[in-house]
Chain A
Amino acid sequence: MIINFLFAAIKAGTPLLFGTTGEIMTEKSGNLNLGVEGMMFMGAFMGFFVGFHTGSLPLALLAAFIIGNFAALIYAFLTVTMMANQNVTGLTLTIFGIGFAKFFGEIMIRKAGGSPKLSPEFMITISEKPIPVLGEIPVIGKLIFSHNPLVYLSVLVAVICSIYIMKTRAGLNMRAVGENPAAADAAGIKVTRIKYLHIMLGGGICGLGGAYLSLINGGGVWNNSSVVNGQGWISVALVIFASWSPMKAIFGSLVFGAFSVLQFYAPKDIIHIPNAFYVMLPFLITTFVLIFASMRKSKTGSQPAGCGINYFREER
């Protein structure tokens, strides 16, 4: 029972981990992109569309990644080059992305004559299967080594991003841009290039999260109305919960994933809590995390100082 619960939690947390890691990359370079929901929607559509037509998982993921790049490029151009308001641009990207996915999704449905289904071979590639040897370990084997391939990919991406941010020179430069772009500029760091790069990278990772939702959570069938359904916004919340660290996001996505499936596993006859509170809990906790972080006024584990403010070189 508990193993099943945790297993479901990991599964539910994976798309959040993609979205959160993507948004962390974006915010660390000093841009708050509220378009995660839209980018995930676009990734969900492209991933499914390419997966449906080619039957290849790598191609589907690549397509989702590239459409995420493209969506983030619009955002980067408007906020970095044209210095538009970041909040409004992000929200616009969400409106645009949802419209994009639903519009082309409907065309796809019409062309397929009914809900498009992924081929059985494709379903086997993305199915849950135990890793040889490791998967046979009791408890842990089922819990950690028996997932679909995208779960491992999400953890891998988060770990790589974490190492990149904390241990490499490029990551250091990016953090400098996020904290204080004027100082970074003075030190000879190419602020504009770094912002573009990481916003687009972040968008691509968010796109992967969308692909997870349409390929795995959708059960192989494209559903126009409820593909992403707020997961992008939860990812934005999770960034706060994970205090801008991809490693903590791995744990955080597990917690949020657990909350989202808790109502199906909680012993209802012992604990009487309305279902609504289970789903509300992640947001309540995030709010408290946000408040406590601001009360402590600590520099580590809070939003990068330059986040949300456009950098205008002539005005430093």
Chain B
Amino acid sequence: MSSQSLSTKKEPFIRIIKKTEISVGKTIVLSLLALLAAIIAGGIFILAIGQNPFEIYTTIVKGAWRSSMATKGTIKIAIPLLIAALGITPAFQMKFWNIGAEGQIIMGGIFATYFALFFDHLPHGLLLVIMFVAGMVGGGLWGLIPAYFKTRFGTNETLFTLMLNYIALYMIKFFIEGPWRDPASSGFPKIATFTKNARLDQIFGVHAGWLIGLVLVVVLFIYLTFTKQGYEISVVGESVNTARYAGMNVKKIIMRTMFISGAICGIAGMTQVTGAAYTLGEGVAGGVGFTAITVAWLSKLNPLFILVVTLLFSMLEKGCSVMQSTFGLSSAVSGILQGIILFFILGFDFFTRYRFVFRKER
């Protein structure tokens, strides 16, 4: 008995233990609490720079939706973010840390641009379908490369995908300054603006990317929740050894999933070039690939939550640019507010996974 009393004495006052399953309802409540805490913290920040938090927050929310113009702007920001965040999801569910959405978006854009530039004599519908597939193939291949080396040699995928982002970025630079340079533009080198035939149609005043995004939400949700392949992804994510023991071909699953992940990000690139910019510029991804990762993670890799979080983030971004014109505060404040929200949700996530145990009095 003496040894036991010794061990209780040494037991720390607070211990942390892992929770078993937690209900979806509780997760949502905790996330909302985190969001509330973040809004309060953001408010304190706004107060500290000498502004009224209530005024600023209402301006941001109203600014994003005040007119049909503003609403369209918000949705335009949301489209690539939504699609890219959906793209990240299968990879992250497999615990394959794909930081390369940025590069996969770019490659999707490059592949789609090729057909927009050199095949714009094709019928409109056919051309867009080809561009869509090209975007998927471009992004997919860019996702497949790190997956191949990961399965073959165990190459670190976080660092690999990170590098591929920059290689893709400078590939755009190469095409802009070299083979695809618009001979008609005399000043800064750029790629010619797409002809009408190669532009994505608009539905309700915003390019059809939003419809593609919504369809993808549903498709991905079904794919991950109800199909055999979706199940395989979550088993590999949970434990590679379990998957292997169950007779799954882990290498094949990783490569397939990364192709899908990259392909979806490639779609985001395709919609950006053909729907928003009508050309391929160096800012085609513009950091969306990185923000998408945080969006996907905050949404607990659930496609339906991703839709909600994307709208929240786009609202912040659009609202802050409106706030800039009314209050004269830099729209960079959206980065700070996004950061604060993310920090709080990342921190609060702790309570969904762990709980405290206090030392029992004897």
> Residues on A close to B: CB < 8 A?
32, 34, 74, 77-78, 82-85, 87-89, 91-103, 105-107, 110, 230, 233-234, 236-237, 240, 274-277, 279-280, 283-284, 286-287, 290-291, 294-295, 297, 303, 308, 312-315
Contact = CB atoms under 8 A, between A and B. Distances in A.
A106 B166 CA distance: 28
Identify the 10 closest CB pairs spanning chains A and B, nearest first. Answer: A99-B335, A96-B339, A102-B332, A276-B174, A106-B330, A280-B170, A276-B173, A294-B155, A84-B346, A99-B336
Given A92-B343, A96-B339, A102-B330, A286 B163 contact: yes
12 contacts: A78-B346, A83-B354, A85-B346, A88-B294, A88-B297, A96-B338, A100-B335, A106-B330, A237-B166, A277-B170, A280-B170, A294-B156
A107 B333 CA distance: 11
Contact of B333 (A78, A103, A313): A103
Nearest to A288: B163
B15 interface: yes
Interface of B: 15-18, 49, 97, 99, 149, 153-156, 158-160, 162-167, 170-171, 173-174, 177-178, 290-291, 293-294, 297, 328-330, 332-340, 342-343, 346-347, 349-350, 353-354
A91 B293 contact: yes
Q: Residue among A88, A274, A284 with the most chain B CB within 10 A?
A: A88
Q: Is the interface of A mostly helix, strand, loop or mixed?
A: helix
A201 B177 CA distance: 41
Contact of A276 (B170, B336, B349): B170
A279 B170 contact: yes
A167 B109 CA distance: 49
Contacts of A274: 174, 177-178
B330 A94 contact: no
Contact of B339 (A32, A85, A95, A236): A95
A130 B177 CA distance: 39
A87 B349 contact: no
Contact of A314 (B15, B49, B158, B178): B15
A241 to B, nearest CB: 10
Contacts, number: 160
A312 B162 contact: no
Given A283-B166, A294-B155, A303-B156, A88 B333 contact: no
Contact of A107 (B97, B330, B335, B349): B330
B333 A291 contact: no
Contacts of B337: 99
B343 A237 contact: no
Given A94-B290, A290-B159, A233 B336 contact: no
Contacts of B350: 82-84
Given A92-B346, A291-B149, A314-B15, 18 more contacts: A87-B97, A88-B297, A91-B294, A92-B342, A96-B336, A102-B330, A237-B162, A240-B159, A277-B170, A277-B174, A279-B173, A284-B167, A286-B163, A287-B160, A291-B153, A294-B156, A308-B97, A308-B158
Contacts of B153: 291, 294-295, 297
Nearest to A303: B156
Contacts of A303: 156, 159
Contacts of B165: 233
A58 B173 CA distance: 39
B156 to A, nearest CB: 6
Nearest to A307: B156
